[in-house]
Amino acid sequence: MPEETSTRAGEAATPHGAAASRPEPIHLRAGGVSLVLDVGGPRLPSVLHWGCDLGELPPEQLRELALATVPAVVSGGTDAPGTLSVLAEHGTGWPGLPGLRGHRAGTAWSPLFTMTSARADGEQVRVEAVDEAAGLELTLWIALDVTGLVTMRAAVRNRHPAEPYVLDGLVLNLPVPAEAAELLDLTGRHLRERSPQRQPFTQGSRVRENRRGRTGSDASLLLAAGAPGFGFRSGEVWAVHVGWSGNHVTYAERLPDGRAVIGGGELLLPGEVRLEPGTEYTTPWLYAAYGQGLDTISERFHRHLRARPGHPAAPRPVVMNTWEAVYFDHDLPKLCALADRAAKVGAERFVLDDGWFRHRRDDHAGLGDWYVDEAVWPQGLHPLVDHVRALGMQFGLWVEPEMINPDSDLARAHPEWIMSTGGRMPPEQRYQQVLDLVHPEAYAYVLERLDRLIGEYGIDYLKWDHNRDLVDAGHSPHGEAAVHRQTLAVYRMLDELRRRHPGLEIESCSSGGARVDLGILQRTDRVWGSDCIDALERQSIQRWTQLLLPPELIGSHVGAAHAHTTGRRHDLAFRAGTALFGHFGIEWDLISASAAEQEELARWITLYKDVRGLLHTGRIVRADHPDPALWLHGVVAEDGSEAVFALVAVATSATAPPGRVRLPGLDPDAVYRVRPLPPGDVAAGVNHVPPAWLLGGELVLPGSVLDRVGIQVPDLFPEHLLLLRLTRE
């Protein structure tokens, strides 16, 4: 890999068989992936290959690869084959979505950059380019980390001495081959986040624009293109994720000439980014993963996240959250009794949810008044905090710093701090509006209040909520669009609180799971998967959230037998067995729970503490079972020494018994002992007689047999599960 290569405008391509005069293509290899960049210029780099590892290729073979991938000239096209860069340019003849969109008072709307340098430094390539006519400079960063994950971003700078440049959009892309003929992304809604949807990847554009001002319950999360029918364990897949918590776009395009790309970036509202002379805009990171099956895609993201310096290192503590236990009924004796029960069953962190601050007896008032309500807490929160700490638990607190109720002291004092486009208020959502943190005074007020609360009570954990979309999100007094600056202000505040309080952990909650992305996770320690803790719904929500995030970053709680959000009823084994495969918690009025229920819950918490070291470091695996009523997922240790699987009946199977299920991801050469895992071995969920091996209590088989042949599963009642523990002999 060359340390640095430079190109000059107008440099000609080397004829086939001639001595090399162009800079060599750059070949990045890691984690079973190759990324080959043509940096020969004069145009921006193009991707010659992104996919399976090509092995070591000498320079002459890289040059031949560049020649082999030059598009043909066809009738109706440009006279010379156009290049497609990671930042697509209209000026090259690309008829799809341009990577850079903007103008200078109606001019400079079709920039065409000339590359001035391309430097490879370890795993990262830095490219500099300029468009003299448009008065713009461009920097691209393209990297392939040790996990095989591609990371990309760009910065555009206005080099004109006097005129501003209005930026309308800057998105990046990567090419995918013709074999990527099917698309998968996610959608959803409040209480049903991250629902998968598939469609053929045909000619034309599929564009997912999110204008909610936050990631969104209906966010695509990942946009994946793959071989038709690709699953968790099979089929080539290419996928992208935009690491940004505000408005964003993901897209897939296929042209009539067969070229296809997937990509994304921030979605900019009109006039939102205006580059004055000498200023620049930098995109959020675009993440891209290739693999055989979706499990490989997940593995790359999970390893990338786990390698971060700030990734939670301590065992993820069992959380007791008060929301579905007491809602707004904040009564000190009851909360202390709840803490007693939580500590008894094994909770390690107690989180006081919404309702502790001034005027907050319901969700109609008080947001913005971040002072402990003296009427409810005459001694402040100290009595509860002291009680919780005496029980050996950490103390956490719910906040919603980006929001404001019109019925609040803050709104009455500073109505100009409410985001709006001017002349009208946006429609209320949950009786609230958005606090404009772009105002320095509003930002300073919220930062001071949170800093003071954390310091006074020694708060270990903030559940940071965000319960509405940003609609008409303008900055006063003129009402210009401000989602971009609001998102950056939130990031800045989170970073500053973490700097001031190094041990503080923060959860990203947003109407449940509406802010799940790698931008917010650069500065938070977990996400709240969904406001719905119905175990059946959570099976799906967690299954697809784990496409991007490992289990330790997804809050998953055991609720009451009667689910508050759906009305369903589930036994404790199904609720706890579902929560086990996340960051385990409780959101249940344990005072009303029977002694038997508390004892069973304590056994589940003991199991969680026993296996969380495996669950939060191992590889997520999911079986591609043909029966949609039967799901199997699990975690296999990195060294293949052990595994925990959950066999889940999400509905009634069309066949009885349902047949065999394969256990994927094991070491094929190892021999495993397979046992039911208590308390997830309860026979109450088994219809009629269990299969012979389960009656016998265990199996001993090679990993290859368990993966390729599988085991007979019991005929489970719907909405029940069975846990299995595997240990290598």
Amino acid occupying residue 41: G
Please, are residues 451 and 497 in contact by the beta-carbon 8 Å criterion?
yes
According to the model, what pLDDT value does residue 365 have?
Answer: 98
Which of 316, 317, 321, 318 minimizes the C-alpha distance to 590? 321
According to the model, what pLDDT value does residue 18 have?
Answer: 39
Q: Residue 178 CB: number of other CB atoms within 10 A?
A: 10
According to the model, what pLDDT value does residue 15 have?
Answer: 36
How confident is residue 76, by pLDDT bands cut at 50, 70 and 90?
confident
Is 715 noted as a catalytic residue in this protein? Answer: no
Q: Encoding tokens for residue 184?
A: 């998968």
> Which residues of the chain does CATH 2.60.40.1180 include?
620-728
Q: Omega of the bond prior to 691 within 30 degrees of 0, cis?
A: no
Mean pLDDT of 23-36: 96
Fold of the 319-613 domain = TIM Barrel (3.20.20)
According to the model, what pLDDT value does residue 685 have?
Answer: 77
According to the model, what pLDDT value does residue 21 have?
Answer: 66
Q: Omega of the bond prior to 383 within 30 degrees of 0, cis?
A: no
Helical residues (DSSP H) of 247-293, grouped into ranges: none
Element (H, E) at 140: strand 136-144
According to the model, what pLDDT value does residue 20 have?
Answer: 45
Name the active-site residue from 465, 469, 681, 715.
465
According to the model, what pLDDT value does residue 83 have?
Answer: 80
How confident is residue 11, by pLDDT bands cut at 50, 70 and 90?
very low
Please, are residues 645 and 680 in contact by the beta-carbon 8 Å criterion?
no
The CA distance from 634 to 644, in Å, is 5
- Burial classification of residue 657, based on how many CB atoms lie within 10 Å of its CB (0-12 exposed, 13-18 middle, 19 or more buried): middle
Q: How many residues does the chain have?
A: 729
Name the active-site residue from 218, 469, 517, 531.
531
Mutual orientation of helices 595-615 and 572-579 as an angle, nearest 10°?
20
> Which residues of the chain does CATH 3.20.20.70 include?
319-613
What kind of architecture, by CATH, is found in domain 620-728? Answer: Sandwich (2.60)
According to the model, what pLDDT value does residue 74 have?
Answer: 84
According to the model, what pLDDT value does residue 656 have?
Answer: 83
How confident is residue 107, by pLDDT bands cut at 50, 70 and 90?
very high
| Matching CATH number, 4-71+82-306, of 3.40.50.261, 3.10.150.10, 1.20.120.450, 2.70.98.60 | 2.70.98.60
pLDDT at 17 over 50: no
Residue-wise over 27-41: b if at least 16 C-beta within 10 A, else e?
A: bbbbbebbbbbbbbb
State the average pLDDT for the chain: 95
Percent of the chain at pLDDT exceeding 70: 97
Question: Which of the residue ranges 52-56, 70-74, 358-362, 662-666 would you say has the lowest mean pLDDT?
Answer: 70-74
Please, are residues 524 and 464 in contact by the beta-carbon 8 Å criterion?
yes
Mean pLDDT of 681-698: 84
The CA distance from 268 to 482, in Å, is 9
Question: Which stretches of 159-295 are assigned E, i.e. beta strand?
Answer: 165-176, 182-189, 192-200, 204-210, 223-226, 236-243, 248-254, 260-267, 273-275, 280-282, 285-292
According to the model, what pLDDT value does residue 263 have?
Answer: 98
Q: Encoding tokens for residue 651?
A: 């509905």
Helical residues (DSSP H) of 238-391, grouped into ranges: 294-306, 323-326, 332-345, 382-390
According to the model, what pLDDT value does residue 81 have?
Answer: 74
Which of 628, 607, 616 minimizes the C-alpha distance to 540? 628
Is 517 noted as a catalytic residue in this protein? Answer: no
Residue 711 per-residue DSSP state: E
Please, which residues bridge with residue 549 across strands?
A: none
According to the model, what pLDDT value does residue 463 have?
Answer: 98
- Residues 607-633 have pLDDT tens digits of 999 999 999 999 999 999 999 999 999
Percent of the chain at pLDDT exceeding 90: 91
CA 72: distance to chain centroid? 39
Residues 6+ apart with CB under 8 A from 259: 71, 84, 175
SS3 533: coil
- Residues 313-358 have pLDDT tens digits of 999 999 999 999 999 999 999 999 999 999 999 999 999 999 999 9
The CA distance from 689 to 696, in Å, is 12
The CA distance from 142 to 157, in Å, is 18
- Residues 625-666 have pLDDT tens digits of 999 999 999 999 999 999 999 999 999 988 888 889 999 999
pLDDT at 10 over 60: no
- Residues 169-226 have pLDDT tens digits of 999 999 999 999 999 999 999 999 999 999 999 999 999 999 999 999 999 999 999 9
> Which residues of the chain does CATH 2.70.98.60 include?
4-71+82-306
pLDDT at 59 over 90: yes
How confident is residue 78, by pLDDT bands cut at 50, 70 and 90?
confident
Amino acid occupying residue 265: G
pLDDT at 688 over 80: no
According to the model, what pLDDT value does residue 308 have?
Answer: 95
How confident is residue 6, by pLDDT bands cut at 50, 70 and 90?
very low
According to the model, what pLDDT value does residue 683 have?
Answer: 65
Please, are residues 698 and 675 in contact by the beta-carbon 8 Å criterion?
yes
Total-model pTM = 0.96
Mean pLDDT of 701-708: 98
pLDDT at 687 over 90: no
Q: Encoding tokens for residue 31?
A: 């984690």
According to the model, what pLDDT value does residue 75 have?
Answer: 86
